[in-house]
Structure 1
Amino acid sequence: MRGADGPAARRAGKAKAGAMIAETAGHQGLSIIAPPADRRLTQRLIEVWLRTARGRFPSWADMRRIDLGDDWNWVFVVDLKQSAAFPHFVYLGSRLAQLSSVYLSTATDFSLSLLDEAASSINLAVASEAPRQASNELMLADGRKVLFRSMTAPLAEDGEKISHVMGCAFGRVEGEAGPPLRVV
């Protein structure tokens, strides 16, 4: 006999927890996002950013309250105050962290990773004070092409002065069907 510790009890507990999260988010005016399969990660994150902004820059604390589900695996957040020559990541999704060791083949620099490419538009998001999207065809060091999309958006702890940038990145190896880029 499984009792209260069985799979049915765990599923019921998860459902109850999900309902509590949704109710709490509703009281705080937040949306719970269930990512539709037919929409791009970059667009989903921009929509969340826009809904959270409400006439000001959202904060990193605001964004952490949003349930992005598996999309969090592909998200990064950079603290601009702590960043000098290189971005200081305060959050790096687990799948995106794996891309930090996947290197690109460029004419001038063989040390750029897919994560570097994703973070390259941080300054554009800050300068434009708005989300920025990029779609590129990149060459990996092994010669394969990656169809790569990324997005960066400004965040502000006080709602006014940009202090962080949130971004996401996603891609597929060209010509390969199946799941998105996981570990190349």
Structure 2
Amino acid sequence: MAEYTGIERRLVFRLLDYWEGLKDGRKMPSLHDIQASDLGDDWDWCFLISLGEEGESAVFTHVGSLIYPPVRGLLIGTEVSACPDQTLIKQATTFMSRVFDLGVPVSIGGECEDGGDDLLYRSTLMPLSSDDVYIDALFGGANCRKVTN
């Protein structure tokens, strides 16, 4: 597990450190290991995805209010494939297949549009498994800042 001195400013590094700490000798933690109370304010930038049989029916089980504000509608129970385009949450889930292929956390960053704003963002997506063999859930997070001209 990576250990940081002081407070890490980047959300993706804090989440990766949290994920590593939950492994406890396993290849990956389980969905039940993720606790909102452990994450404090970061929880509002996080999301959880549960997968059906063989990765089918990937649905959101948690979507933080800062990554996708509830005034836009609720995504809990919604299939990830139906996620609205040009949103931060859509951008943060576009690389799910890489996480399945590699079986490890994947982080990306770049520019995207969300609610009419141009954003610079960083995101991470991490595999979860109830049996430490098959990925049956994903834990992700992303945050951003507006691009100023």
Alpha-carbon separation, structure 2, partners of 1:174 and 1:95: 17
Alpha-carbon separation, structure 1, partners of 2:114 and 2:146: 9
Residue equivalent to 1:175: 148
Runs of 4 or more consecutive aligned structure 1 residues displaced over 3 Å after TM superposition = 82-85, 139-142
Return the offset for 1:154: 0.2
Alpha-carbon separation, structure 2, partners of 1:100 and 1:78: 20
Greater helix content: 1
Q: Percent identity?
A: 27
- Cα gap change, 1:65 to 1:137, in 2 (>3 Å): closer
Return the offset for 1:84: 4.2
TM-score, normalised via structure 2 length: 0.75
Q: Where do 5+ consecutive residues of structure 1 fail to align?
A: 1-34, 102-109, 177-184
Report the 3-state secondary structure (helix = DSSP H, G, I; strand = E; otherwise coil) of the residue aligned with 1:69.
helix
Higher relative contact order (CA 8 A, sep 6+): 2
Greater strand content: 2
Task: Return the match for 1:98 from 69, 79, 86.
Answer: 69
Report Cα offsets for 1:18-72 as digits up to 9, x if no partner. xxxxxxxxxxxxxxxxx93x42001100011112113321001112276110001
Contact 1:134 1:151 in 2 (8 A): yes
Residue equivalent to 1:180: none
Residue equivalent to 1:51: 21
TM-score, normalised via structure 1 length: 0.62
Return the offset for 1:126: 1.5
Question: How many pairs were matched up?
Answer: 131
**What's the Cα RMSD here?**
2.7
